[in-house]
Every structure is written in C-alpha cells, then in structure tokens.
Structure 1
C-alpha cells in the first residue's frame, strides 16, 4: 500500500470514492472497494467518515470543487447569468446529471434529496446567485424589494431542471430564453 497522509490521502480517497460511485452507483458502492482503489485500508476511511453516506457526500462535494465555475463580473446581470450558465455547461452538467442518476438510493436511504445535497455543497457560502443579484442591486438593475429566495435562485433552478430532465448541456437558445424571457422580466420589475 502506498503511504500517504493528510490532504494527499484524503484527495485519493475522495477521487476513489467518486470513481466507485460513477461505476457502481449507490447500490454497489462499498468502502472496501474504495479503499482498494485508493491503495489503503477500510479503517483509514472510518477514521475520516462514519460510513458510506458520509463518504459519498464528501466525494460529491470534492467532485464539485474540482469543477469550479468562476463568478463573472461583466457589468450586467444579463451577461453574468449567461456567462455562468455557459460555464456550467462545461464544468457542472455531467456532475449534476450523474449525481441525480447515481444517488437515488442514497437519497432514499438517508431521507435527503438533491436540494439538500446542493445546500451542503454550498455550505454557508453566499450562493453565486445572491452575489450576482447583490451586484445588480448596487448597479440599479434590480430593485431589492422584488427579491425573494425563490426568485433569487430561479435562473439556476431552471438551468438545473433542464439538465436533470435532459441529462445533457443546456442549449444556447434555452439559456437565452431562461434569462431574457423568464428571469430578467421578473427581476427587473419594480417592487411595491
């Protein structure tokens, strides 16, 4: 077995866990297989995670962190939203689609869902949508009075829904429809 410690060992375990999950899904996911793939032992895994669910969650978070989407600042909300969606097509679509497909049993067994896992991935950080909208409010593009949690996440919720229903990247026409025909008209109306 290869001797690694700290972050190097943890990264190897998370990479191995993600690979196992992608190959076998939740139903076939086994800690001993992850340990073999990572070149270590099962007790090493248990020192870091309490079991399969914790390791899978950490592996999904690790996979998301390995596929970052940069926060743009183009000077306009429209261009920022379109840029994020285009970048997400390349960086995150496969992750979103595979997570939904591979984790059905995980969600059932843990009593959680994709939205809760997404929240864990985001942790306590400001979401990208909140940051983009805060900038738009500062620039006077959006009236803060119209913002609700649902409206704040709408653009990315529609994008994610498209990915989950088609299991492929979102087309340019659909991105423009989401931004120009649905989201911006709602965000740019004046609050009461």
Structure 2
C-alpha cells in the first residue's frame, strides 16, 4: 500500500494543476469564497500548500483559475445556424444552463476579501474573458454579414443588452429565465432594435 506522501508527490504538470483547480472549484461551490483556503484545496487535491503557492499567488488568483477552468468546460460558442435568431436563442439556452455556475461566480464577486484583488464585477469579467473569444460578438458579426443586423445600430448598450438582461435576472432571481422569457427578449426587445431596413 502506498504512503500518503508518495500519493501527494506522484502527479506532475497538467495532471496536478487539473486536480488542484478541480479541488478549488469544489471548495468554492460548497463553501463559497470565504470558506476557500489554500490548505483545504491542498488537502482535497492531495498535495501541499507550498505546491499551490508556487502556482498561484493567493486564493483570489486560484479562484479565478477555477472559474476559468469551468468556463472552458462549458463553451458558449454557437455554430453558424444560418439565422441570428436561432443562434441568439441557442446562446441564451447555453448561458441558462450555466446558472448554477454563475451563482457561484456572483457570490465570489460580492465577497469583500475578493474585491481587494478584483475591485469590481467589471474587473472580474475582464479577468475571466481574457483570451476567450467574445461568444455573443461572433453571433452578432455573423448576423451583420448575413444582412440581418444593421451594424450602425449595434451601439454598446444594445450590443450587451441580452447579456445584461440575463445577468440581471440571475442576480435578482437566482434562477434561469424561462425559455418563453428568453424568446421575448430576442423577439420583442433585441431584434427590433438591430434589424436592417
């Protein structure tokens, strides 16, 4: 039977990083940011605190890594469906499936200690989106290319409208918007604002 020390030291590189990040996410989901410590993550990942410290300078950066890892596992990019409406609805469907995940992210962003590193939700969003393609932006660009959307109408508040609506709904209700509500957002609010002609 192997000793606990050999179990701790056997993994290296990406395999160890993945174990640490998965452990950090599990701690975040179960105990929130306030309950997240480098020690509990190290214990859960069967490694040492010094190993974590060499990779992440503090638990805020480790939390960001864990959230980014989950985002990578649940991509929001929607294939070309030939219709901006279909693509927007699919995008909102995928985003709605992530509501339990987003609930954890919201709770992290509201933590006072976390805000010492990431002072605002915008700073957190920037950190999480770094290196990731703008999923909604790709859909809108395809809509423009197909002549469905007037690019002159895609001013900043309108371009982010659907993301803002779902973010507000989750923040206020702690639940995903219904499919009917999502369809109303697209058909009655967003598309009339951006259609060509």
Say yes or no: TM over 0.5.
Answer: yes
Q: Is there any run of 5+ residues in structure 2 with no aligned partner, and where?
A: 1-6
1:85 aligns with 2:92: yes
- Aligned to 1:142, the other structure's residue is in SS state coil
Once the two structures are TM-superposed, the CA of residue 107 in structure 1 deviates from its matched residue by: 4.1
TM-superposed CA distance for 1:172, in Å, is 1.0
* Equivalent in the alignment of 1:101: 107
Q: Label 1:125 to 1:62 Cα distance change in 2 as closer, same or farther (>3 A).
A: closer
Q: Cα distance, 1:93 vs. partner?
A: 1.1
Q: Secondary structure at the match of 1:39?
A: coil
Change (3 A) 1:182 1:168: same
- The equivalent position to 1:7 in structure 2, one of 3, 6, 14, is 14
Which of structure 1's runs of 4+ aligned residues deviate more than 6 A?
none
Task: Compute the TM-score of the two structures, normalised by the length of structure 2.
Answer: 0.88
Per-residue CA deviations over 1:68-91 (Å, capped at 9, x if unaligned) read 23413111111110011112222x
2:31 to 24, 31, 36: 24
Aligned: 1:39 with 2:46:
yes
* Higher mean displacement: 181-190 or 35-44: 181-190
Q: Which shows bigger deviation, 26-35 or 93-102?
A: 93-102
**1:50 aligned to 2:54?**
no
Listed as ranges, the gaps of 5+ residues in structure 1 are none
Please say which structure displays the higher CA radius of gyration. Answer: 2
TM-superposed CA distance for 1:173, in Å, is 1.4
Equivalent position of 2:82 in the other structure? 75
Counterpart-to-counterpart distance in 2, 1:110 and 1:182 = 36
Distance 1:135 1:28 in 2: 43
Two-structure CA RMSD over aligned residues (Å): 1.7
Q: Name the stretch that deviates more: 102-111 or 41-50.
A: 102-111
Q: In 2, Cα distance between the equivalents of 1:75 and 1:10?
A: 39
Greater mean alpha carbon deviation, residues 80-89 or residues 115-124: 115-124
Q: How many residues align?
A: 189
Q: 1: CA distance between counterparts of 2:154 and 2:83?
A: 17
Contact 1:72/1:83 (CA < 8 Å) preserved in 2? no
Indicate how the Cα distance of structure 1 residues 56 and 132 shifts in structure 2: closer, same or farther if over 3 A, else same. same
Counterpart CA distance in 2 for 1:176 and 1:57 is 32
